Amino acid sequence: MKTIRLKPGKERSLQRRHPWIFESAIAKGSGDSGETERVESHEGQFLAWAAFSPASRIRARVWSFDEAQRIDAPFFIAACARSISARARFDVQSDGVRLVHGESDGLPGLIVDRYGDTLVAQFTSAGTERWKAVIADALLQATGLTRLYERSDASVRALEGLEPATGWLRGGPVAGGEAPPVELTIHEHQWQLTLNIAEGHKTGFYLDQRDSRKRFADYARRLGFQRVLNCFCYTGGFSVAALAGMRAAEAEGGAPGGQVVSIDSSGPALERARAHVALNGFDVNRASFMDADVNASLRQFLKEGQRFDAIVLDPPKFAPTAAHADRAARAYKDINRLALQLLTPGGVLFTFSCSGGISADLFHKIVASAGADAGVDGYILERLGGAPDHPMTLEFPEGEYLKGLVVMRKG
């Protein structure tokens, strides 16, 4: 059995059950990619069982803090089953659900989403790569499903020295047979959304924004939005939510004819967004789609004197790590300043950051300083986070990657 010996004093985060061991904390120890190692303090005290990753700055990720635990197939079967059964107690209003959320579920580097009867998994660490076959079988066993598609093409895999890998891991086409569908439909809250598990972003869809989309629909209904702008719309989840809320407002006697403008720089995502409007029974004339850069579009709208009574800003990860935080902060501030200027008094901004390197506190400060530059004050009506199936835990604060604010411009 191989051992990782830490430098003096470097055992503290492990004693608090934080699952990462950085290269800089290790006095000695090496191994193969994904190999299970015993981790000890400098004094030789047992700390954890961890998967070694020779190429990564996060040199090992913990499987267990229990010395008696064997890291074997039954361990993964139990861990997958625990993670999946926890979802039954979370409030998830969709048949698209995240079943395993990496470190937060005790399985560092493993993401598993379920879309109806199809599972999609990302193996992003050396340890999960090593145990891939065992984990794949454990997931099928715990769900009773037969189809598992692999989307291990996230850029973080390169940091672990792993090549991209995609395709059916289980339940794929048998010789001469037809391939199972990669085009799927999910039912989220009161709407339907389609996705392509082979080509979409992440595992195909942004499940983490499910409940913020619902909140947006609630605001659209209550306030009767007339002009909505959905920036970084991807496949139009917030646009569909807005239209649903606006339709409900009209049915309750609100003014008819509201419009939703959606912007993204991905042509295929926009095509799907457009299709989602019709799929959910909304008038396609009420939705327009722009294949454009958000920052340039916001500037253009300002120049034209356009105003919106609701704006969504849900940009991609500007700061993957804390090292990118400065540049990212400027980028966030810029778009938030422009959006606040474009809001009508009483209008509502749903603004997000999914950057691990930007804390909730820092994000709040960035939006505040955007408001100061814009000369706009607003009420912070709500703080938002990822949906409950993308949990953060007491032991792993990095689990809080997605944060949002609902800001109402003062009149």
269 sits near ligand SAH (criterion: CB under 6 A): yes
Rounded to whole angstroms, the Cα distance separating 147 from 172 reads: 7
294 sits near ligand SAH (criterion: CB under 6 A): yes
Q: Burial code of 158-193, b = ≥16 C-beta within 10 A, e = fewer?
A: ebbebeeeeebbbbeeeeeeeebebebebebeebeb
Q: Cβ of residue 335: shortest distance to ligand SAH, in angstroms?
A: 9
**Contact residue for ligand SAH among 64, 166, 190, 266 (CB under 6 A):** 266
Q: Contact region for ligand SAH (CB under 6 A) — 91-99, 281-289, 308-316, 382-390?
A: 308-316
What does the DSSP 8-state code read for residue 320? S
Comparison of 218 and 250: residue with beta carbon closer to ligand SAH = 218
- Residue 404 makes CB contacts below 8 A (sequence gap 6+) with 212, 350, 351, 352, 353, 383, 384, 385
Q: Which of residues 174-213 bind ligand SAH (CB under 6 A)?
A: 206, 209
Q: Cβ of residue 148: shortest distance to ligand SAH, in angstroms?
A: 23
Beta strand spans in 191-241 (E): 191-196, 227-231
- Residue 242 makes CB contacts below 8 A (sequence gap 6+) with 216, 217, 220, 225, 228, 230, 260, 310
First to last CA, the chain: 67
377 sits near ligand SAH (criterion: CB under 6 A): no
115 sits near ligand SAH (criterion: CB under 6 A): no
Comparison of 49 and 238: residue with beta carbon closer to ligand SAH = 238
Q: Which of residues 209-248 bind ligand SAH (CB under 6 A)?
A: 209, 232-235, 237-238
118 sits near ligand SAH (criterion: CB under 6 A): no
Q: Cβ of residue 238: shortest distance to ligand SAH, in angstroms?
A: 5
Q: Cβ of residue 89: shortest distance to ligand SAH, in angstroms?
A: 25
Number of residues that bind ligand SAH (CB under 6 A): 18
Comparison of 152 and 235: residue with beta carbon closer to ligand SAH = 235
Compute and round to an integer the Cα radius of gyration of the chain: 23
For residue 327, give the H/E element and its range: helix 325-342
Rounded to whole angstroms, the Cα distance separating 391 from 11 reads: 25
Comparison of 13 and 266: residue with beta carbon closer to ligand SAH = 266
For residue 111, give the H/E element and its range: strand 110-115
Q: Cβ of residue 296: shortest distance to ligand SAH, in angstroms?
A: 8
Comparison of 204 and 254: residue with beta carbon closer to ligand SAH = 204
Comparison of 72 and 199: residue with beta carbon closer to ligand SAH = 199
Q: Contact region for ligand SAH (CB under 6 A) — 178-186, 310-318, 332-340, 365-373?
A: 310-318
Are the C-beta atoms of 366 and 326 separated by less than 8 Å?
Answer: no
- Residue 231 pairs in a beta bridge with 263, 313
Nearest to residue 47, comparing CAs of 73, 9, 78?
9
Rounded to whole angstroms, the Cα distance separating 326 from 328 reads: 5
Comparison of 237 and 347: residue with beta carbon closer to ligand SAH = 237
Q: Contact region for ligand SAH (CB under 6 A) — 30-38, 59-67, 220-228, 309-317?
A: 309-317
* Contact positions vs ligand SAH (CB under 6 A): 206, 209, 232-235, 237-238, 263-266, 269, 293-294, 314-316
